[in-house]
Structure 1
Amino acid sequence: MSTIIITGASSGIGEATARAFLDAGWTVGLIARRADRLEAVAQGQDRAVVLPCDVTDPDAVEQAFDGFVEQTGRLDMLFNNAGMFGHAGPIDEVPVESWLQVVNVNLTGMFLCARQAFKHMRRQDPQGGRIVNNGSISAHVPRDGSVSYTATKHAVTGLTRTLSLDGRPFDIACGQIDIGNARTDMVAEQHERAIAAGQEPDPSMDVKNVTDALLYMAGLPLEANVQFMTVMATKMPYIGRG
């Protein structure tokens, strides 16, 4: 039995990934703040473990990971996915409170969850596991008006590299998936707003392309690792965006 914890599992890419891993036979720990949404994802799934948790709360994160491992016996993988965009606009229009909130969720939240995953993977028998951080196209090339999101996603790349290095002695592999315009409810809403404003919506792709990529990364033996993977709509303006 393989086990995974997915953060931000109540909607979007996190929810789609949770459903894909459950369908593939994994035991899946579901982390997000909205317990009712997690219960909906878990409905009818006896291998789903609902773990309502704010990823910015160190104690809550520790309790969620400890509780999952106590119930399942081990943690094979973490998909560190929870994130938010925050206020859009030039830096002088970004409220400090919005900046701090985005840093708290996108960076500190990922740190706290990776910290707990690393703790368990290092000490379990057999030792080891896999951590996959959700970066972004913006971990490489920013969109305009995205200072908070872009800064945190660049920082996530540093987190990924350091975890990959620090995990080597313990058979902990760490990689990053950078996703561009997967069709989730959030992207659908962006498309609707673009159309309403008379604009051409950005190209997008089926979210299944993302979940298939994650299942591939998860299926590798720990002696192999996808360090960075970019999965994006072929025609989106990424190459040459800068």
Structure 2
Amino acid sequence: MNQAKGKVIVITGAGSGIGRATAQHAIRTGHGVVLLGRREQALRETAEVADQEQAIVCPTDVTEEGQVEAAFGAAVDHFGRVDVLFNNAGTFQHGGSVADLSPAEWRAAVDVNLTGMFLCAREAFRLMRAQSPKGGRIINNGSISAHSPRPGSVAYTTTKHAITGLTKSISLDGRPHGIACSQIDIGNAATELTADFGTGVMQADGQKKAEPMFDVSHVARAVINTAELPLDVNVQFMTLMATNMPFLGRG
């Protein structure tokens, strides 16, 4: 068993984008990191900045209960505990209106964005309430779509609204066990998934316009700053966005 100098942080979707940036910032600031994602090679590339034993790679499909349980078991086997879950894995499907979305596309979004987050939060909660000293923190990656939708995003927007309910429920259920739960709602961080936003994305008025972006490293710092708070303090909700993006003027 390896004792982490800082927190033990489980990060889902750690093979790219926000997950990779957050994992690498956590590693550089001295935390032990457990990397979850479907692509093992991508996870190993994320872990390249880690010292030996500081990060472990756990290829995981977050929609599969058994795989999630195995990943958290590996975290405990390696580090002895779990202090933080960054519940980050998600998918976004570009599409048309609710009339054009297939049931298969709907289920795929719900499976990853909602059920996957539930399964990871459930496993983290179970470990945090049983470990000694007990407690921990769960940080859910919401989205500004948890507040206001983009056109043609019914499945994504619905799941992200649901994450707000998940966050509030976990926060309430966690109080007797020293478990805090936060939500970070991110708008236009520059990642592979948002590459087209800087060149042109559909607006509510039907026009296609480029939107301001910001460096994903700022998300990483915000997540880890929250992770490092004492458990009697919580950032319940945080919105982190490009200052001049049209979010507040949608519609």
Shorter-chain TM-score range: over 0.9
Distance 1:96 1:87 in 2: 15
Which structure 1 segments of 5+ residues have no match?
none
Q: Which amino acid aligns with 2:13?
A: G
Aligned counterpart in structure 1 of residue 40 of structure 2, from 35, 41, 52: 35
| Residue number in structure 2 paired with 1:206 | 215
CA contact (8 A) 1:86 1:99 kept: no
CA contact (8 A) 1:87 1:94 kept: no
> CA offset at residue 41 of structure 1?
1.0
Distance 1:192 1:236 in 2: 13
Give every structure 1 segment of 4 or more consecutive aligned residues whose post-TM-superposition deviation is greater than 6 Å.
none
| Residue number in structure 1 paired with 2:188 | 181
Change (3 A) 1:104 1:185: same
| Residue number in structure 2 paired with 1:9 | 14
> CA offset at residue 240 of structure 1?
2.6
Distance 1:237 1:193 in 2: 13
Distance 2:60 2:145 in 1: 26
Distance 2:103 2:211 in 1: 29
> CA offset at residue 189 of structure 1?
3.9
Query: Number of matched residues?
Result: 239
Aligned 1:1-242 pairs, distance under 5 A: 1=5, 2-45=7-50, 46=52, 47-192=54-199, 200-242=209-251
| RMSD (Å) for aligned C-alpha atoms | 1.4
Change (3 A) 1:151 1:199: closer
CA contact (8 A) 1:87 1:98 kept: no
> CA offset at residue 44 of structure 1?
4.9
Distance 1:58 1:240 in 2: 40
Distance 2:199 2:58 in 1: 32
Distance 2:113 2:174 in 1: 21
Which structure 2 segments of 5+ residues have no match?
202-206
